[in-house]
């Protein structure tokens, strides 16, 4: 789907509201048992950890790997030492599906993240029931409604889920800290223009808090980019590079850089 420059997030959220209107409201079931991502990242802070993403397509790159066997890919991620598997479930813009999350969660032992534009409790219940142990909440989706963000964050936590709160700038990072979010992502991609810059991650480092863990997302294709963020981030979220890797195990292992600074 073509999206006019600068209107990416607006279009995605309009589409998401239509999707939610058709979505049944599920009763939440008990959470799938695995380790807590926050604890894992704190415990293994001597090394940059990798959140490996199952992603078939994206609005910026188009088709990435449509033929992928998602179960095999997820199992390979797990065996190669990923800390968590991120699963795109948005059908329209990313060619994802909630069933991908369900199938992957059944076949791996490690945490799974429901990567979507979550703006409603229905999506949180659905994510939990599909085996996710972590959900994504993007601060930019709640530009004028911090109360809604807070409500969804607290609801997810009450179900036993962990929440990756995604930010892009200082104002959004302040919002994440206000929420008392423990796992905070810094997206190097501007969701309004889809431009990517690792400088985004670097710029926010001075405002980090020691008790939190931080994930650098987007624009990381190999060791060179990983090294730029390794010192100040606990983990990186990598999709495209791993979906297209010829040697997945080597590509993922190369990203797990030793960290000099494990204060954060």
Q: Tell me the two tokens of residue 73.
A: 């890919």
Long-range contacts of 24-28 (CB under 8 A, 24+ apart): 24/122, 25/122, 25/125, 26/122, 26/125, 26/126, 26/129, 27/125, 28/124, 28/125, 28/128, 28/129, 28/159
Please indicate whether residue 187 is annotated as part of the active site: yes
* φ/ψ (deg, to 5) at 237: -105, 120
Catalytic residue among 78, 162, 166, 172: 166
Please indicate whether residue 143 is annotated as part of the active site: no
**Helices marked H in 23-168 — which ranges?**
37-43, 70-80, 91-94, 98-107, 121-129, 146-158
Please indicate whether residue 216 is annotated as part of the active site: no
Catalytic residue among 55, 56, 182, 256: 55
Handedness of CA 57, 58, 64, 70 (dihedral sign): negative
Catalytic residue among 78, 162, 172, 217: 217
Question: How would you class 97 by CB atoms within 10 Å of its CB: exposed for 0-12, middle for 13-18, buried for 19 or more?
Answer: middle
Please indicate whether residue 122 is annotated as part of the active site: no
Please indicate whether residue 60 is annotated as part of the active site: no
Catalytic residue among 187, 190, 212, 234: 187
Catalytic residue among 58, 86, 216, 218: 218
* φ/ψ (deg, to 5) at 152: -70, -40
Catalytic residue among 16, 56, 115, 256: 115
Please indicate whether residue 182 is annotated as part of the active site: no
C-alpha span between 149 and 121 (Å, rounded) = 11
Coil, strand or helix: which one is 258?
strand
Q: Tell me the two tokens of residue 84.
A: 């968590």
Please indicate whether residue 218 is annotated as part of the active site: yes
Which sequence positions are flagged as catalytic? Answer: 53, 55, 115, 166, 187, 217-218
């Amino acid at each position: 789907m073509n999206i006019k420059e600068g209107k990416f997030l607006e279009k995605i959220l309009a589409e998401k509201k239509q999707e939610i209107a058709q979505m049944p409201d599920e009763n939440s079931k008990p959470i799938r048992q695995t380790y807590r991502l926050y604890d894992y990242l704190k415990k293994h802070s001597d090394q940059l950890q990798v959140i490996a993403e199952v992603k078939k397509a994206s609005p910026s790159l188009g088709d990435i790997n449509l033929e992928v066997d998602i179960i095999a890919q997820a199992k390979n991620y797990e065996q190669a030492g990923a800390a968590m598997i991120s699963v795109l479930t948005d059908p329209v813009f990313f060619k994802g599906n909630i069933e991908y999350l369900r199938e992957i969660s059944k076949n791996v032992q490690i945490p799974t993240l429901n990567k979507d534009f979550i703006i409603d409790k229905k999506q949180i219940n659905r994510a939990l029931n599909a085996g996710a142990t972590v959900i994504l909440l993007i601060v930019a989706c709640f530009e004028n409604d911090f109360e809604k963000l807070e409500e969804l964050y607290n609801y997810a936590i009450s179900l036993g889920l962990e929440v990756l709160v995604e930010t892009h700038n200082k104002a959004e990072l302040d919002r994440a800290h206000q929420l008392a979010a423990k796992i905070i992502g810094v997206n190097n991609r501007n969701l309004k223009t889809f431009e990517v810059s690792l400088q985004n991650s670097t710029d926010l480092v001075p405002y980090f808090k020691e008790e939190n863990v931080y994930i650098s997302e987007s624009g990381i294709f190999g060791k060179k980019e990983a090294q730029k963020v390794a010192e100040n981030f606990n983990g990186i979220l990598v999709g495209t590079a791993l979906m297209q890797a010829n040697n997945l195990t080597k590509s993922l292992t190369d990203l797990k850089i030793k960290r000099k600074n494990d204060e954060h």
